[in-house]
Amino acid sequence: MDWDSFARWGAKISDWGAGYHRGLRDLPVRASTRPGSVAAGLPQVPPETPESMESVFADFERIVMPGMTHWQHPRFFAYFPANATPPSMLAEFLATTVAAQCMLWQTSPAATEMETVMMDWLRQSVGLPEGFKGVIQDSASSATLAAVLVMRERALDWAGNQKGLTGQPRLRVYASNEVHTSVDRAIWIAGIGAENLVRIPTQGPLRAMDPAALDAAIRADRAAGYRPAGVVACTGGTGTGACDDISAVVAVARAHGLYTHVDAAWAGSAMICTEFRNLWSGVEGADSIVFNPHKWLGVQFDCAAHFLRDPAPLVRTLAIRPEYLRTHGADGIINYSEWSVPLGRRFRALKIWFVLRHYGLEGLRQRIRNHVLWSQALAAQIGADPRFEIVTEPVLSLFTFRLKGADDAAQQAFVNRINDDGRIYLTQTRVADGVVIRFQAGQFDATEADVMMTYEVISDLAGAA
């Protein structure tokens, strides 16, 4: 493809993309294809000769698009949308066009220095104190893995990377059942082992980790010969929006010399609104924090903001400096590849810059406030209907409900009917070992009418049950 063709196809795809987004409300939210149907539409051997872009693009529309779930649909109420705003997409187009590998300062000085400034913009935006430093990770999962690796190295006096875990004390990490499964995976990958992730019971309407139980578990493990390493707390657990008492958790962790990581993957973005910061009160005492601008702030996936009270332990854990990665003659530079597990890094800071400048913090705040307000109104409407009951009250824009008197199989069947209907997309979770239906509002372009349509849909389908 020559560059004239590139320009022509770039314009065509841009026009296609605008039309796609304008027409999203007319599409079913979730893909309705059967397993294997997309693969069956693809040739089983690669082409030997060139094909035209017209043919490739026609097949994209014919084969690919019918099998796509529409994450940017305004009635995507399952999981947490990986939002992609227009300025973020344009920034990603530019970053893809320049196609820089931003692993070191010298390989892209602008990318490194913009990342430093953008992370400080985000720090200020969510009210973290000066002194916290940030790095962009690909996802909250990677940030949590990095935090667990730091916990491991600190607890082993920095010997784990050199000596391995054989013959070392058994480490223990503490979290509630409400944390994301990325914590489990981080424990596996770090070599600590699933049996050493200690689950602390929760309490209260926010399903917060019990700090007294945390303290007792740490003491009991020390007495049994284990070596406690760290605590993972959450603000906005994925299942029900659980929020730990960060102040209390940090106090217990500090008393025992443990590292504290706070996973605020979706809810952290809401902290640009000062009225929601009570949900992570005391977060300034944590050692590290992560939230995803690629969720509620509309920054194209992937983009996770990982903040550190002191980055030195992370760099000590992850940095490796062969001669070919050294930058000579430039003192005081940051190489962010030393702050993350992958060496390769994309120019992610550019899309944060575009989004924050285009919308401003107040424009982003208003969207989040609307989502919270509309979710609360929807929960009230569902709770007033005798066919339903609210199981967990809204935490920001997330709540759960269920059909009254229905067993788990009937709840799941109801979720399936909702999603097969196509007007909205929800998912299920478990509360007290029972299946419930989970709702969250967070899609960037959702309106009040989109959110309130949820009641219309569930009311129609419950009546037909």
- Cβ–Cβ contacts within 10 Å for residue 50, how many? 8
Residue 279 · residue 395 · CB < 8 Å: yes
What average pLDDT score do residues 161-178 get? Answer: 91
- CA 295/CA 440 separation, integer angstroms: 12
State pLDDT tens for residues 11-69. Answer: 999 999 999 999 999 999 988 888 888 988 899 999 999 999 999 999 999 999 999 99
- CA 433/CA 421 separation, integer angstroms: 27
Q: What is the pLDDT of residue 320?
A: 77
Judge whether residue 133 has pLDDT over 80: yes
- CA 318/CA 332 separation, integer angstroms: 18
Q: What is the pLDDT of residue 242?
A: 94
Distance of CA 85 to the CA centre of its chain: 16
* Phi, psi dihedrals of residue 438, rounded to the nearest 5°: -110, 130
**Order of all β-strands in the sheet with 133-137:** 133-137, 304-308, 288-291, 259-263, 227-234, 171-176, 197-200
- The pTM is what? 0.90
Lowest mean pLDDT among 105-119, 137-151, 246-260: 105-119
More confident: 40 or 286: 286
Pairing of strands 227-234, 259-263: parallel
Q: What is the pLDDT of residue 324?
A: 55
pLDDT band (50, 70, 90) for residue 174: very high
pLDDT band (50, 70, 90) for residue 465: very low
Q: What is the pLDDT of residue 443?
A: 94
DSSP tag of 309: S
The pair of structure tokens assigned to 208 is 């917060």
Judge whether residue 104 has pLDDT over 80: no
What average pLDDT score do residues 178-183 get? Answer: 90
How many CA atoms within 13 Å lie on the side-chain side of 60? 9
Whether the link from the prior residue into 408 is cis, omega within 30° of 0, is no
* Phi, psi dihedrals of residue 104, rounded to the nearest 5°: -125, 160
Residue 243 · residue 394 · CB < 8 Å: no
Q: What is the pLDDT of residue 110?
A: 84
DSSP percent split of the chain into helix, strand, coil, nearest 5: 50, 15, 35
C-alpha triplet 92, 120, 305: angle, nearest 5° = 55
The pair of structure tokens assigned to 82 is 């990986």
Judge whether residue 269 has pLDDT over 60: yes
What average pLDDT score do residues 130-142 get? Answer: 93
State pLDDT tens for residues 138-167. Answer: 998 999 999 999 999 999 999 998 888 888
pLDDT band (50, 70, 90) for residue 463: confident
- Cβ–Cβ contacts within 10 Å for residue 130, how many? 7
What's the Cα-to-Cα distance from 223 to each of 219, 257, 258, 346, rounded to whole Å? Answer: 6, 16, 16, 46
pLDDT band (50, 70, 90) for residue 338: confident
pLDDT band (50, 70, 90) for residue 327: low
**In the block, residue with structure tokens 């406030």:** 369
Strand (E) or helix (H) holding 68: none
Judge whether residue 275 has pLDDT over 70: yes
Residue 37 · residue 77 · CB < 8 Å: no
Q: What percent of the chain has pLDDT over 70?
A: 97
Q: What is the pLDDT of residue 331?
A: 59
- CA 218/CA 174 separation, integer angstroms: 8
Strand (E) or helix (H) holding 161: helix 160-163
State pLDDT tens for residues 76-102. Answer: 999 888 899 999 999 999 998 888 887
State pLDDT tens for residues 211-227. Answer: 999 999 999 999 999 99
For the chain, list the domains and their CATH numbers. 3-68 (1.20.1340.10), 101-346 (3.40.640.10), 360-463 (3.90.1150.10)
Q: What is the pLDDT of residue 322?
A: 60
What's the Cα-to-Cα distance from 87 to each of 53, 298, 303, rounded to whole Å? Answer: 26, 9, 15
What average pLDDT score do residues 316-326 get? Answer: 73
pLDDT band (50, 70, 90) for residue 330: low
- Cβ–Cβ contacts within 10 Å for residue 183, how many? 23
Judge whether residue 362 has pLDDT over 90: yes
| Mean pLDDT, the chain, whole residue set | 92
pLDDT band (50, 70, 90) for residue 323: low
Q: What is the pLDDT of residue 325?
A: 62
Q: Which residues contact 288 (CB under 8 A, 6 or more apart)?
A: 143, 146, 147, 150, 259, 260, 261, 262, 306, 307, 308, 309, 314
